[in-house]
Amino acid sequence: MTKSEYNTVQDEQAEEAGEWKRKLSLILSYSSKLSASSGLSNILRLIADETKEILNAGRCSVYLLDREKHKLYSWVSHGLDKRQIRFSATRGLAGATVSTGETINIKDAYNDPRFNPEFDMRTGYRTRSVLCMPLVNQFGETLGVFQVLNKKNGVFSTQDEEVLGLLSQQASAAVENSMLYDELKKSFTSFINTLAQAIDARDPMTSGHSTRVSSYSQLIAEQMDYSSEEMEVLNYAALLHDLGKIGVKEAILTKPGQLEPEEQEHIQTHAAITRKILEQIYFQHEFRDIPKIASAHHENLDGTGYPEGLKGEEIPEIARIIAVADVFDAITYKRHYREPMPFEKVIGIIVSDSGKKFDPVCVDAFLNLNIYELLKIMTDETDVSISEEAEEIFEGVTIKQFISLMGNNSSPVLQEFVKYYPAGCT
């Protein structure tokens, strides 16, 4: 070997060692980010983005396997929009990887009969080199497929396969754990919904109340820029806010006419009972405040509420949101002791109690809700469906704007509204 050849070999080895060092550094970063991530879509997006960078590729997709339908699907395909991609688990190179359980590494996609050019034709992308590897769990079951496209400086090497194998092991564990967590969360949500419906079913007059309160609360929280994590807490707390009514005497709960003072006091015990019951349930860390939140929806900003007489910031903000939604639903629906109120009176009660019972920030967010969104919730469990014409009439009209139209009997917004809210406007 000449000195020149020796130097060339040395340079190549140094370059290869440098590339390994770069990849290992990125793999460590990938591991750290993956362990700190939650939510399946976030995890898949992180895996795709990091793999693309580590392997110096043009695109990375992560497809999950739907075993029942034998399809591959993904919301994550780097460089495409966020729509879901779904196709048969027998098609293309990804399908071949599922069928054989083997890694596929090809230099020229269009020279391989297994390659499906449909995505290229739809997107204008030109696939060249492809590296596909199955995502396999600890039991050897295929969860999905890694598909990495277009190595930027040549073709995918044996080293790239080894690196993708390392990434795949970590990705499989993270994906499976997230999927199991999502299944548990679905079961928990289903249980909470069933529980809320069972509570409301004790009194036909309140059927659907907890679900509607949750829906109104979420609309208000959207106006207040709540995160998806905060929305989950709010949803559960709102659905469970009347859980304590399980301890209220049915004769009092369904009594026609006004309640006596002692009966009113008995009804009010439901808030404290709600907390007592919920504190017996194990909630994960992010949901630990639900017992306190759910039981505080009758606390008033000025400290005159119950069960603890909390005031101002002592009341959890989510409970302050639920308080507005709870009163709105209560006075827009028939109760044993009264008919639903005209809409102007409903809003008048909420506005007049702003700063006293209700948080002004929550009331302002409520007043900025769209009338159409409210009506959709109000009519959801009825035989009434809102027409497309009505949807166009209500488009962009907030509660605040709607109230300003009161008295204008020729307003098409008011005329259309009374078709869906029998108690009328004024």
pTM above 0.95?
Answer: no
What's the one-letter identity of residue 116?
Answer: N
Token pair for residue 160?
A: 């790239």
Amino acid at 171: A
Whether residue 350 is contained in a domain is answered as yes
Indicate if 175 and 205 belong to the same structural domain. no
Tokens of 69: 């339908």
Please state, in angstroms and rounded to a whole number, the distance separating the CA atoms of residues 53 and 25: 12
**Residues 100 and 217 both lie in one domain:** no
Residue 409 vs residues 118, 394, 412, 426: alpha-carbon distances, Å: 57, 16, 8, 11
- Distance in angstroms (rounded) separating the CA atoms of residues 136 and 153: 28
Distances (CA, A) of 43 to 38, 171, 175: 6, 8, 7
Give the pLDDT score at 103: 95
Task: Reduce the DSSP state of residue 335 to 3 states and report it.
Answer: strand
What is the pLDDT, as a whole number, of residue 81? 46
* Residue 364 three-state SS: helix
Instruction: Give me the pLDDT at residue 99, please.
Output: 92
Residues whose CB falls within 8 Å of the CB of residue 172, separated by 6 or more in sequence, listed in order: 135, 136, 137, 138, 143
The helix (run of H) or strand (run of E) holding residue 60 is: strand 57-66
Count of domains observed in the chain: 2
Q: Is residue 148 part of a domain?
A: yes
CATH number at residue 365: 1.10.3210.10
**Which residue is listed with tokens 């009338």?**
371
For residue 187, tell me if it sits in a domain.
Answer: no
Contact 232, 293 (CB under 8 A): no
Q: Please indicate, yes or no, whether residues 167 and 275 belong to a single structural domain of this protein.
A: no
Cα separation, 294 vs 325, whole angstroms? 13
Which of 325, 351, 369 is where one domain is finished? 369
Indicate the residue among 369, 390, 411 that finishes a domain: 369
Q: Rounded to an integer, what distance in angstroms lies between the CA atom of residue 237 and that of residue 266?
A: 22
Examine the domain organization and report whether 164 and 267 are in the same domain.
Answer: no
120 & 209 share domain: no
Within this chain, do residues 311 and 235 fall inside the same structural domain, yes or no?
Answer: yes
Tokens coding 293: 């939140």
Residues 250 and 338 in one domain: yes
Q: Please report how the helices 412-420 and 371-378 are oriented relative to each other, as an axis angle in degrees rounded to 10.
A: 20
Residue 117 lies in a domain: yes
Q: Is residue 377 part of a domain?
A: no
Last residue of a domain, one of 354, 369, 384: 369
- Domain membership flag for residue 243: yes
Structural domain contains residue 402: no
SS3 of residue 132 by DSSP: strand
- At residue 16, the pLDDT reads 60
167 shares its domain with 295? no
Verify that 128 and 21 share a domain, yes or no.
Answer: yes
Residue segments in the chain with a per-residue pLDDT below the cut of 70: 1-25, 27-29, 75-84
In a domain, 64, yes or no: yes
Can you give the pLDDT at residue 206? 87
* Alpha helices by DSSP H, 201-337: 209-223, 228-239, 250-253, 261-278, 290-294, 317-332
Residues in the chain, total? 426
CATH at residue 136: 3.30.450.40
Q: Are 171 and 273 in the same domain?
A: no
Is the domain of 148 the same as that of 263? no
Range of the domain at 17: 12-179
In this predicted structure, what is the pLDDT of residue 31? 72
Query: For the sheet containing 71-74, what is the strand order?
Result: 85-88, 71-74, 57-66, 142-151, 130-136, 104-106
For residues 232 and 323, membership in a common domain is answered with: yes
Supply the pLDDT for residue 76.
Answer: 53
pLDDT given at position 265: 94
